Chains A and B, each alone.
Chain A
Amino acid sequence: MGWLISGLGWTVAVSLCAWVVAFVIGALIGVGRTVNNRPISFLCTAYVELFRNVPLLVQLFVWYFAVPELVPEGLGQWMKRGMPMPEFTTTVIALGLYTASRVAEQVRAGIESIPKGLKSAARANGLSGTQMYRYILLPISFRLIVPPLTSEFLTVFKNSSLALTIGLLELTAQSQQIADYTYNSFEAFTAATVIYIFIALVVTGLMQIIETRTAIPGQSGKAA
């Protein structure tokens, strides 16, 4: 039981940290894809395509095994020896950057779904590009994309289970360990399954509250 709780702790910690990374970078990349600047939007598109088209497991291994060898030696040494909690940090980076590419797509879709007239109106009122994003486009699009972001957030929790491949003892790893040690596979997997469902219910519940709070009046949340 203690193992499961510590596993749950790691799962939640990894997921939340990775979500913060994903949200910040995803928002930047998503905005980057919509701006009227060829090099920037090309770079952001390249980022999304690269991170979306390689399995998360491969990315995790590249970050964990390959990157420390590729960076300058001093930094590589530090990543292998000095870095606190290497498995945790690596998972947060890998999962965060991977999810960022998916968040970016949602952000882009949100911004592109805003009618052109609003952009023109903002321009006509003399707003600069930054102001237009800051006051018009982003507030609206973020409220529009809450539902898809909910499912991304749930996916982060599920994907955090991949961390077991590099030795982070999160929930799935713990349940497997219990199964190996006690031969009570059935109980161990059932417990882990129940906990994951519980997480899903809690997250869905919380996001529904956010959804109703942020829904734009007149745009029914269900339809979006």
Chain B
Amino acid sequence: MSGFDFTVILESLPFLWEGLQLSFFLTFLAIIGGLGFGVLLALARLSGIRALSLVAATYVNLIRSVPLILVIFWFYFLVPLALGRPVGGFQSAVIAFVMFEAAYYSEIMRAGIKSVAKGQVQAAKSTGLGYWRTQRHIVLPQAFRNMIPVLVTQAIILFQDTSLVFVVSLRDFMTVSSIVARTEGRLVEMYLFAAAVYFVICFAGSLAVRRLQSKVAT
């Protein structure tokens, strides 16, 4: 094998940077959407209304037993159909990730909400707070605090998962690396570089989680 060629990486840096930005943006949107929808799912499961919790539980278990790639294919095919007009791959991917991650986030939140002591809810009720105000001011703030490390860990996993948009050729960091790798014929350099970039980002993230954990624990 001829020597390691760094110039390929240097020359394609702007292109790669665009891909990385898309990866981050996708992760960011999926976290926001996933958290929002996840909270609703978790509350539905714990609501005590049979039908509502059944629907939420079915949804969560369904999504969790199917590979992410299949979910991406599903939404890639369904979203344009549902809207009746073709939409960009990015929108479909965002929706797929939000729907997929919400199932995982809701499980984390369900555990978090359950970890809030029962007396808190009873106290809130007896001070005259309604259901939504109890959740909003009493339960969720405490639950979130306990969940932060797990949520961040899930965000790191989500960031890794965004590489799967490769299967629908959306130009995230992974896809862009692979495009460069193929056009330049430099597979070794590009894939190892991609691995290194992902490693640095995710490792930094997991170190942050560890610091958070020790902070939350005290």
B69 at the interface (CB under 8 A from A): yes
Chain A: minimal CB distance from B196 (Å): 8
B206 touches A192 (CB 8 A): no
A207 at the interface (CB under 8 A from B): no
A34 at the interface (CB under 8 A from B): no
A112 at the interface (CB under 8 A from B): no
A65-B181, A65-B191, A70-B1 known; A58 and B163 CB under 8 Å? yes
Chain A: minimal CB distance from B55 (Å): 16
B160 touches A197 (CB 8 A): no
A165 at the interface (CB under 8 A from B): yes
For residue B70, which residue of chain A has the nearest CB? A172
Chain B residues positioned under 8 Å from A61 (CB to CB): 178, 191, 194
A5 at the interface (CB under 8 A from B): no
Chain A residues positioned under 8 Å from B161 (CB to CB): 55
A55-B160, A196-B67, A200-B65 known; A189 and B198 CB under 8 Å? no
CA distance A157 to B202 in the complex (A): 24
CA distance A14 to B194 in the complex (A): 25
B68 touches A66 (CB 8 A): no
A55-B174, A65-B191, A196-B65 known; A189 and B164 CB under 8 Å? no
Chain A residues positioned under 8 Å from B206 (CB to CB): 49, 52-53
Which of B66, B188, B202 lies in contact with A158, CB distance below 8 A?
B66
B65 touches A197 (CB 8 A): yes
A189 touches B202 (CB 8 A): no
A62 touches B192 (CB 8 A): yes
Residues of chain B from 141 to 165 with CB closer than 8 A to chain A in the complex: 156, 160-161, 163-164
A189 touches B74 (CB 8 A): yes
CA distance A201 to B66 in the complex (A): 11
Chain A residues positioned under 8 Å from B74 (CB to CB): 189, 193
CA distance A79 to B132 in the complex (A): 60
Interface size class of A (residues with CB under 8 A): 35 or more
A53-B198, A53-B202 known; A158 and B68 CB under 8 Å? yes
For residue A173, which residue of chain B has the nearest CB? B69
For residue B198, which residue of chain A has the nearest CB? A54
Most chain B CB within 10 A, of A49, A73, A160, is at A49
B40 at the interface (CB under 8 A from A): no
A55 touches B70 (CB 8 A): no
CA distance A56 to B195 in the complex (A): 10
Q: Mark B170-182, 1 if CB is under 8 A from A, else 0.
A: 0000100010010
Chain B residues positioned under 8 Å from A157 (CB to CB): 67
A57-B164, A58-B163 known; A161 and B195 CB under 8 Å? no
Residues of chain A from 132 to 156 with CB closer than 8 A to chain B in the complex: 154
For residue B205, which residue of chain A has the nearest CB? A53
Chain B residues positioned under 8 Å from A164 (CB to CB): 69, 167
Which of B66, B68, B69 lies in contact with A197, CB distance below 8 A?
B66
CA distance A69 to B198 in the complex (A): 21
CA distance A53 to B208 in the complex (A): 13
| 4 A-B pairs with least C-beta separation | A200-B65, A53-B202, A161-B67, A55-B160
| A and B contact pairs by CB, cutoff 8 A, 20 listed | A54-B202, A55-B160, A55-B161, A57-B166, A58-B194, A65-B181, A65-B187, A65-B191, A66-B191, A160-B67, A161-B68, A172-B67, A179-B77, A185-B77, A189-B74, A192-B70, A196-B70, A197-B65, A199-B65, A200-B65
In addition to A192-B70, A196-B67, 5 A-B residue pairs with Cβ atoms within 8 Å of each other are A52-B206, A55-B163, A66-B192, A193-B66, A197-B66
